[in-house]
Every structure is written in C-alpha cells, then in structure tokens.
A and B are shown apart, each in its own frame.
Chain A
Amino acid sequence: MLELKDISYVVGQKEILKDINLTLADRFVAITGPNGSGKSTLAKIIAGIVAPTSGKIFLDGEDITDWSVTDRARAGISFAFQQPVRFKGITVKDLISLAAGKSTNISEACNYLSEVGLCAKDYINREVDGSLSGGELKRIEIAMINARGTKVSVFDEPEAGIDLWSFNNLIKVFEKMYERTQGMIIIISHQERILNIADKIVVLANGGVAEYGAKDEIFPKLMDVHAGCRYTSDKA
C-alpha cells in the first residue's frame, strides 16, 4: 500500500502539486488528467526522482519520504520512464539482468521479452541505444519492470511516443500484466483503453486530486467530458 500525505511540489512561485492525499492499495490504479496537471511529477515523487517540497510518502506504513531512488527501488518500487533512457554499449541482456538482480540466461530473458512481444533472440545482444525504435525501447522498459517483479510498478505514460500498431500491442501487454501481477500497478495515462482496465482512477487537475474512485464510477464521467469533442472521443 502506498500513501501520499499532503504532498506539495513548488518550483519558484508555481505550485505543480498541492496537498495531494491519496491511499493507493488496488492492483491497478490509473492516474490521468490534462497536460500540466502534475501526473509525471507525482510519479517521480513516488520513485524518489523528485523530492516533494512538503508532505510524506509511506510504503506499507513505513515513511520513505527521505529515501533515495536506490533505497526505494530495493524496497520494491519500480519506475518505467516516459522517455526510455538510451545507453552506449549496454545491451538489452545487461539491463534485464540488472533489473532481475541476477545474470539472466537466454531462456529467462526470453520469458520477459516475449511477454512484451519481442523475440529474445533478436534483441538480447542489441545495445539499448538509438538503433532501437521508440516502440522497442518502450517494450524493453516494460520488460525490465516485469523482470524486477516488485510490489509497486509505476509507469509514466507508456503510450507516449509510440505508433498505433505498437499501442495496440501495448494494451495487450498491460492486460496480461494485470492478470498476472502479484503487486500493484500505477499507470500514468491519457488512453481510454488503459483507463478502462484499471480498478481505480485518479484524476489530477491543476496540481490537485479532482476525482478518485472506482473505474466504473470515474470512467463514464471522463467520457462525458470528452463527448463534446470528436478528437478526444473513442468514436472519432
């Protein structure tokens, strides 16, 4: 269980997040909201990449507010970047092994990679650099989270920057992950199809929590808001 108590984040005069209070305990929680509502900042605060200006974070009742990124990772928080990081010389196998916490052989790596629709044989020795497409990098990023298998997995807009074909596959990946996960998935997303598989939805607006509740309660409201605009509607 993850608890955020009175979390605020201020840059200069601008309040990015103000007094966020959330208790996240469900298997699949989606955090959505317009651009600039503070979603990514909140995800980074959970992972320890950004320190809140004030407020506390608790993981299973323990105060982790002052813990480093490393400490939180070791305590069971995983974070998938919105823009996966590229490396020179580091291979897919290296990253999967680091994520799994042990050297992985081909068949183990194959399990993680096939879960995200990649053939291990083609990718295992590839460098995680600019030679991989955005969609491939995203999937490798997700495979790393699967290899870690921690109690909290945070995904920052996994759909950002990938094409429609990859997106359809991505949805399947999350559907499968939802079926199998032992931990909690927190996913920052704008996508209806991702929101639709969540147990609970948090709506952020202007740095605060505008709505938080069961998917069946929140999802229709979001669709109502979009109904007037054909570009954001599912029926577009």
Chain B
Amino acid sequence: MDKIQQRLLQEVAGIHEVPEGAYSLRINGSLYGKNSSEHIEIVKKEDKPGIDIYVKAGTKNESLHIPVILSQSGLKELVYNDFHIGEDCDVTIVAGCGIHNGGSETSEHSGIHSFYLSKNARVKYIEKHYGQGDGNGKNVMNPHTHAELGEGAYLEMETAQIKGVDSTKRKTTAKLSKNATLIVHEKVMTHGDQFAETEFEVELNGENSGTHVVSRSVARDRSSQKFISRVKGNASCSGHTECDAIIMDEATVIAVPEIMAVHPDAALIHEAAIGKIAGEQLIKLMTLGLTEKEAEEEIVNGFLR
C-alpha cells in the first residue's frame, strides 16, 4: 500500500493498515486482502465482483471492515456485497470508499450492498465517502443499498460524504418486518460544482416496525443536492423522515419527503427545512471572538458532526 492509499484508508475507515479481525480490502478494482474470523466468513463471489459475508447467529460485539480504495485515475467498478446476518447478532460494519484521482479521467465506484438481517439481529453500519486528487478527473460514487430486516431486527446506518465526491446518486431501499427498526443518519456536504442525490424508500410492513431517516446536509458554492425520502406504512408502525439543509453561496437544495399510510395505525411524520445559517448564530460566535468566517466553519462542522 502506498502513502496515498494509506491516507484514503485513514479517511474512510480510520485505520492505517489492514485491520484486525474480519475484513475485506479492495484496492484499484481487485481484492487486496481478506480475512474471515471465527464468526464472520467472507467469501469472494465467483460470478461477479464482490463478496458474500456470513455472520454466524449469536455473534456479539464483533466488527467487520470492508473499505474500498481507488487511486488509479479512470477506474470504474461495480461491486456487489451481500451481508447475511444471523439471528441475535450484534455487529458493527465499517465500510467506505476513498478515491484519489490524479488524472483527467472519471473514477467511479458503485457498491451494491444487500443486507439480510435475521430475527433480532442488530447491525451498526458506518460508511464514509471521500474523494481527493489534483487532476481534472471526476470522482463518482453511486451506492445502492437494500436491506431486509427480519422480526425484531435493528439496523442503524451512519453515512457521511463530506468532501471531494463530484457526483453521487445514492439509493437505499428497506423492508421491515414485525418489531424491526431502521435508523439512518446521513451527512452530506457538497462544494464546488458537485452534485449529490440521495433517495430512501422504506416499507414498514410488520406490526410495530419503525424508522427514523435523518439527513443533515450543507450545500456550498455552486453545488446542488436532492433528497428524496419515501416512507410507506403498511401496518401499525411509526415512521419519521427529516431533512435539514444549510444552503450557502449559490447552491441549490431540493427536498422531497413523501409519506404514505395504507394502514389506519400507521403514524408517519416528515420534516424538511432548508435555510441559510441563522444570523444570530453567527453573531453569538462573533461575540466570543470568532470572525464571521470562523463562526460559519464552526456552525457547519457542528451541524455535520
């Protein structure tokens, strides 16, 4: 691994080298290394790029790292990762993609992730997207995630795309059974001429299922963002979707929340707010000695924390 690759790995997964325990590390379009643990088995797919991950029933407090690094300009890849999580598991999955594009061609990584959570399984999924590079080539990421949550399953997704991704179209779909819960915390910041679209489609099919989809985003310069969130209540359930965006400079933000109830006991809420930084927040921080620019940075960093 060279220095650029190490830096990308640090940015997206918080690690310098191959992690301990179960991992799969993909660099420049091929599998760099993988390691199964006693409870987590990683199997390379034969028919297409990607891996199958099997977490044995009852696995507790284990983590799995599956970062992807692209440092070769112009590389385009589509990777399929399937997660099969056994009953009563409690695991953390750290994913993420870092692109360094020093050339003039477009680099693109699109991860197609499918989660199958068995009864009462708990998963925390953390994903960070990061791009850098001094070339003219664009960094593109188009992730698709599909999750099927069995009875009582709990999936918490934390996704962040803070810097350097020129274009992204993210689609997340989920189907929830009885007593299942899906929590999504998304953070997006776009700058320059970047474009980011995120789309969520959650079907609450089981009794007492619930979801909480929260997106916080900051759009700067001439960048544009689109947030689409559809929550469908097919049973006695609760759903909440929230989009909160700070808009700056000449940026554009579109928020399209959609909730649909087809059961009388479905309780669904959507909230969407777009606005610039409140003047009083800037003034408060300026009374503490910060310049307007420093105050703005502090507010944005806090908002996206």
Chain A residues within 8 Å of B, Cβ to Cβ? 47, 49, 68-70, 73-74, 78-79, 81, 85, 87-91, 94-95, 98-99, 101, 144, 148
Contact = CB atoms under 8 A, between A and B. Distances in A.
Contact of A89 (B286, B289, B302): B302
A109 B292 CA distance: 25
Interface residues of B, number: 22
A218 to B, nearest CB: 29
A89 B244 CA distance: 12
A200 to B, nearest CB: 24
B290 A89 contact: no
B286 A85 contact: no
A90 B286 contact: no
Contacts of A94: 298, 302
A81 B284 contact: yes
Given A70-B292, A98-B298, A88 B244 contact: yes
A73 B289 contact: yes
Given A85-B281, A85-B284, A98 B302 contact: no
A94 B295 CA distance: 12
Contact of A88 (B280, B290, B302): B302
B299 interface: yes
B303 interface: yes
Contacts of B280: 81, 85
A87 B299 contact: yes
A101 B288 CA distance: 8
Contacts of B305: 89
A130 to B, nearest CB: 13
B288 A73 contact: yes
Contacts of A101: 289
Interface of B: 216, 244, 278, 280-281, 283-292, 298-299, 301-305
18 contacts: A49-B283, A69-B286, A73-B286, A73-B288, A78-B287, A85-B278, A85-B280, A85-B284, A87-B302, A89-B216, A89-B301, A89-B304, A90-B299, A91-B302, A94-B298, A94-B302, A95-B288, A98-B285
Contacts, number: 56
A70 B303 contact: no
A144 B288 contact: yes
Scoring A70, A78, A88, A90 by chain B CB atoms within 10 A of each residue's CB, the highest score goes to A70
B302 A73 contact: no
Contacts of B302: 87-91, 94
Contacts of A85: 278, 280-281, 283-284
A-B pairs, 8 with minimum CB distance = A89-B302, A90-B302, A69-B286, A85-B284, A73-B289, A79-B287, A89-B305, A89-B303
A155 B272 CA distance: 35
Main secondary structure on B side of the interface with A? helix
Contacts of B303: 88-89
Given A79-B287, A88-B303, 15 more contacts: A69-B286, A69-B287, A70-B290, A73-B286, A78-B287, A85-B278, A85-B280, A87-B299, A88-B216, A88-B302, A89-B216, A89-B301, A94-B298, A95-B288, A101-B289
B128 to A, nearest CB: 17
B290 A87 contact: no
B214 to A, nearest CB: 11
Contacts of A90: 298-299, 302
Contacts of B216: 88-89
Counting chain B CB atoms within 10 Å of each CB, the highest count among A49, A95, A98 belongs to: A98
A46 B244 CA distance: 34
Contact of B286 (A70, A95, A144): A70
Contacts of A89: 216, 301-305
B287 A87 contact: no
B283 A69 contact: yes
B281 A73 contact: no
A70 B287 CA distance: 6
B282 to A, nearest CB: 9
A143 to B, nearest CB: 12
Contact of A68 (B278, B281, B284, B286): B286
Contact of B291 (A70, A79, A98): A70
A101 B294 CA distance: 13
A49 B244 CA distance: 28
A73 B287 contact: yes
B301 to A, nearest CB: 8
A92 to B, nearest CB: 12
- Interface centre among A68, A69, A74, A98, by most chain B C-beta atoms within 10 angstroms, is A69
Contact of B281 (A47, A70, A87): A87
A88 B277 CA distance: 11
Nearest to B187: A89
B147 to A, nearest CB: 26
B290 A98 contact: yes
Contact of A98 (B278, B281, B288, B304): B288
Nearest to B286: A69
